[in-house]
Chain A
Amino acid sequence: MTDFTYEVDADGVAVITWDAPGKSMNVLTREAFALVEDHIDRALADDAVKGVVITSGKKDFAGGMDLNVLASIREESGENPAQGLFDFTMNGHRILRKLERAGLDPKTNKGGKPVACAINGTCAGIGTEIALACHRRFMTDNEKARIGLPEILLGIFPGGGGTTRYSRMVGAMAASPVLLEGKMLDPKKAKSASLVDEVSADPLADAKAWVLSAGDADIVKPWDVKGWKMPGGAPYHPAGFMTFVGASAMVNGKTQGVYPAAKALLSAVYEGAMVPFDTALKIEARWFTHVLMNPSSSAMIRSLFINKQALEKGANRPDVADQTVKKVGVLGAGMMGAGIALVSALAGIEVVLLDQKQEAADKGKSYTADYMDKGISRKKATPEKKDKVLSLITATTDYDALKGCDLIVEAVFEDMGIKAEVTKAVEAVVGSDCIFATNTSTLPISDLARASQRPEQFIGIHFFSPVDKMMLVEIIKGAKTGDVAVAKALDFVRQIRKTPIVVNDARFFYANRCIIPYINEGIRMVKEGVAPALIENAAKMLGFPLGPLQLVDETSIDLGVKIAKATKAAMGDTYPDEAVDEVLFWMADEGRLGRKAKAGFYAYDDKGKRQGLWDGLSKFPEADDQPDLSEVQHRLMFAQVLEAVRALEDGVLTDIREGDVGAILGWGFAPWSGGPFSWLDILGAARAVEICDRLSESHGERFATPEMLREMAAKGETFYGRAEAQRAA
């Protein structure tokens, strides 16, 4: 165990250096935490030691807690995980409190040893909480370094004293960007937010110097002095009263009530503000345990952290040699092509952006120029960087320019014939080992691959719009797609720093397969006379960023019509969505094509700003008897999750981790739930079957219970339990 080393320098400053062996970033384990205590004990006991500096031996200070620790504590605690988690949390409080008190006499507040933190790089989570327990924080002046408490983004909240300490340092209102939004701040902003005390070119040297000069008065925390008052006002102080009333309303409205961590954080701050500091830490530990015991937090950590990272690191990558992309040809410089060119060039990949007309190709390239200009105006990029990125993109009409490309991404018009032509034209110039990817969102990969001489090198790489913002990339294997093509696609996605899922070829692949029924269910309810506001609000209260009607306005109604017509043609008599089409086609006929037309299910002003729901929807009069909120929510939810289950049954999805991560990143599926499979696990298969049976009886076959789910209900299984058993077997 050498995560933390201890060394006393010539001036009597004990330097505790965090340097987890074999890791590029420090993350805190249980053993390492115990070591911190040993070192503090040693420093406090040694009369030769005048003070302590905690720093890191890595480029950065710390990434946070090892999140696997929480899961293992839960498992070890057996029957009573809450007790185990609470005890663990309280033990952490005890250690950091010892560091914070640093030997000060409880009565006189005298006789302690100064402890400073030298934050030499990025610092997050428990790293920041350790720093907050220190008496003074010196942070590097490296502008790229960040410090913060991003726990809330993973469905938990700072439970290592960070919530209590930071809210007491700056007040509940001022603490909210860091605690409630999880903002990571650069050194300057961190200083003005009081997360750090000094920004320094040499934090270690400055921290040592401070430790040697600091006296008892410098190291007593304000809350350990009699008469301390909460900055900004405690809850029943007039100013604090307004803050807390407002905070509950804001958090409630913003989270739509589905994120337990935000509620718990606020309660910990509120209840803690009215009691002495050590009691406040105990309250924080109770709420932290409460959140950890909520299935939402484990599901969020699992999908948004552990599994997302696993997929990014190539969990499902075939075992073939490195396929790093050096030169990519992007065909079609429309919105998608321009975006793909941008993210590729940003990743340092040489790009040939090809379109039929030079103006179109140039326009596609100018998307990157505009993007970089925006970055420059926000001080996130430099003119040099812009030149460098632009120099990587060649906008052309000449197929010969594609020579030397090891990957082609085709993003031309969604037409089988055009795509086939382009495929042939490309294959005539590129080398025989070049991988050809199509960015189609609707056409079957195996069909498109027929135009290729090398179908094993033909694959789908489905980007989401806007490409630079959407983090998911769906990789689709055609019937003949080979391992090298999959590896190529995965390595490309890794290069452009997005998250991949790999699925098999079927209508709409995975994401769209689930999104379309969600939208359709919303439209279907409009037809039935369900209040449109109820439909939209029900979706938001499930944690969806957009209700189905707003979503179809965004993706455009004519696209919906096109997809509906194509699906109907393919399915014939079994086509189930006539009721949806009645509304959808009528909207299209009315010219209400969505946001781009400034007219859709919503009304828009001249600038395209969304106003309210369109009053023309009264063509479908609202029924006197409106369904319960839960009925509407079940319909919207099951429309999606059943499709995800069917995708798994059909073998389109082969890994539920991809199903969950893909849903959250692809269409914002209720992140609090961890994704469709996690949501079903939280609900329980038996209950899910019960709801499905009821829904299919009253609303039709589209809610028919998948056999897999029924079987799981009978056996009392969960998706993740099954997956684990399969992995173990």
Chain B
Amino acid sequence: MTDAYIFDAVRSPRGKGRADGALHEVTSIRLSALMLNAIKARNGLEGHAVEDVIWGNVTQVGEQGGCLARTAVLASELDQAIPGLAINRFCASGMEAVNLAANQVRGGAGGGYIAGGVEMMGRVAMGSDGAAIAVDPSIAMNTYFVPQGISADIIATEYGFSRDDADALAVESQKRAAAAWADNRFAKSMIEVKDINGLPILSRDEYMRPGTDMQSLGALKPSFKDMGEVMPGFDKVALMKYPHLEAINHIHHAGNSSGIVDGSAAVLIGSKEWGEAHGLKPRARIRATAKIGTDPTIMLTGPVPVTEKILKDHGMAISDIDLFEVNEAFASVVLRFMQAFDVDPSVVNVNGGSIAMGHPLGATGAIIIGTLLDELERSDKEVGLATLCIASGMGAATIIERV
């Protein structure tokens, strides 16, 4: 079977996903096109150079609707012969784009792909595309639907993580992100966002709060307590699925959950032969990909079973992995991952994560693969695993290996 390689990875800085965020003025199509242009320019991709652009995005309505992948290609400097595929696997959409591209290459369906994603959370509100699983009584009740924040709190309760555990992880994420920026560790992938005249808009992750400490986090109120305990009372639903628990411990708040931001990322993937034909040197091999479904109520435990699956399917052990990127959707997700595999926190999210820098849903999966690759190279390590929890109870993972 053909191997799939990563040749390049870029990302935008992440802007606050609010009306006063720096990227709020930029359309999702334009930000996507900027990433595609960067990949094209950095790798000299002329003409019909890649087979497809696979683009992850969660909220595919409004400007993000209508197959934004194809629209982004047409808005970019890529050749119009390159089509576009918009995909949605919620928070792992960007990773799924990479995995799909890699597996297309492995299966021989074309030599090169651009995979990535975008989410302008300040422009297209999360949830504005509707979701039957939350709204349709016959499915919501039968699957014991609760919002993700409640799910994250179920994880904390079920696996015994305290508010302090979660806050400590958040403080560490902020510290590591700040240190990474101070050390210029994102420079290799970072594409400054510029306006139509070439004037700068944003060059740094905007969401970070480097001064965060336990005390400042301690002042925050739990975000999901009211909807859990009072109106409409999601905890009762959660306890129907987890009846051995007496009550849900609400530990998550804005400071230990991922930030709402705007952002985009792209990864260039291809076979060795394709790379040679374009004069490109592979940076890493995509060694394995996996996805899995889990209980939709606790929803966010996917990284554990999907990691078990990817290791088993490829005859690997957790000790074979040098570095981990576990998306910081909520602190308890990462805490549970480290608990389940007993991995050293010093090799997980070494440059911070979504708690500090934000989680542009459709892009994050591609972002963390790029961040993982940059860090493997910087620290001269070999094998890295990236994984994300996914809405409605799923998990996805990718293992890359430097070449």
Contacts and interface: CB of A to CB of B under 8 A. Distances in A.
Contacts of B337: none
A316 interface: no
Contacts of A263: 137-138, 141
Give the residue among B137, B235, B239, B247 with the most A Cβ atoms within 10 A. B137
A256 interface: yes
Given A248-B145, A252-B237, A612 B246 contact: yes
Interface stretch (B94-102, B127-135, B276-284): B127-135
A248 B243 contact: no
Interface stretch (B5-13, B67-75, B226-234): B226-234
B136 interface: yes
Contacts of A227: none
B144 A252 contact: yes
B109 interface: no
Interface in B174-201: none
A241 interface: yes
Given A241-B130, A248-B145, A533-B243, A236 B236 contact: no
A539 to B, nearest CB: 10
A197 B392 CA distance: 44
A256 B136 CA distance: 18
A191 to B, nearest CB: 27
Q: Which range holds the interface residue count of chain A? A: 20 to 34
A236 B135 CA distance: 8
B334 interface: no
Contacts of B130: 235-236, 241
Nearest to A253: B236
A372 to B, nearest CB: 35
A286 B151 CA distance: 33
A534 B243 contact: yes
Interface residues of B, number: 28
Contact of B232 (A246, A538, A541, A612): A246
Contact of A245 (B140, B235, B239, B245): B140
Main secondary structure of the interface of B (DSSP, over half): loop
A537 B246 CA distance: 8
Contact of B233 (A253, A532, A536): A253
Contacts of B145: 245, 248-249
A250 interface: yes
Given A257-B240, A533-B245, A537-B243, A249 B234 contact: yes
B141 to A, nearest CB: 5
Contacts of A236: 130, 135
A531 interface: yes
Contacts, number: 94
A479 B206 CA distance: 86
Interface in A253-267: 253-254, 256-257, 263, 266-267
Interface centre among A253, A257, A270, A532 (most CB of B within 10 A): A253
B201 to A, nearest CB: 30
B323 interface: no
B146 interface: yes
B244 interface: yes
Contacts of B140: 245, 248-249, 252
A188 B36 CA distance: 65
Given A236-B130, A253-B236, A266 B244 contact: no
- Residue among B233, B235, B243 having the largest count of chain A Cβ atoms under 10 Å: B243
A626 interface: yes
Contact of B135 (A248, A257, A536, A626): A248
Nearest to B231: A246
Given A249-B145, A250-B233, A266 B243 contact: no
Contact of B137 (A244, A256, A534): A244
A248 B233 CA distance: 10
Given A531-B244, A626-B244, A245 B135 contact: yes
B137 A248 contact: yes
Contacts of B231: 246
A648 interface: no
A265 to B, nearest CB: 9
Nearest to B239: A537
A249 B237 contact: yes
Contacts of B247: 612
B135 A538 contact: no
Contacts of B146: 249
B243 A538 contact: yes
Given A247-B232, A249-B145, A541 B240 contact: yes
A339 to B, nearest CB: 32
Contact of A533 (B127, B141, B246): B246
Contacts of B137: 244, 247-248, 251, 263, 266-267, 270
A331 B234 CA distance: 49
A217 interface: no
A613 interface: yes
A227 B81 CA distance: 43
Interface string A229-250: 0000001101001001111111
Interface of B: 127-128, 130, 134-138, 140-141, 144-147, 231-237, 239-240, 243-247
30 contacts: A235-B135, A236-B130, A244-B137, A247-B137, A248-B134, A248-B135, A248-B140, A251-B137, A252-B140, A252-B240, A253-B234, A253-B235, A253-B236, A253-B237, A256-B236, A257-B240, A263-B137, A267-B138, A270-B135, A270-B136, A270-B137, A270-B138, A532-B246, A533-B244, A533-B246, A534-B244, A537-B239, A537-B240, A537-B244, A613-B246
Given A238-B128, A257-B240, A533-B246, 17 more contacts: A241-B130, A244-B135, A244-B136, A245-B135, A246-B232, A248-B135, A249-B140, A252-B144, A252-B236, A257-B141, A263-B137, A270-B136, A533-B239, A534-B243, A538-B243, A612-B246, A629-B243
Q: What 3 A-B pairs come out closest when comparing CB atoms?
A: A253-B236, A246-B232, A537-B243
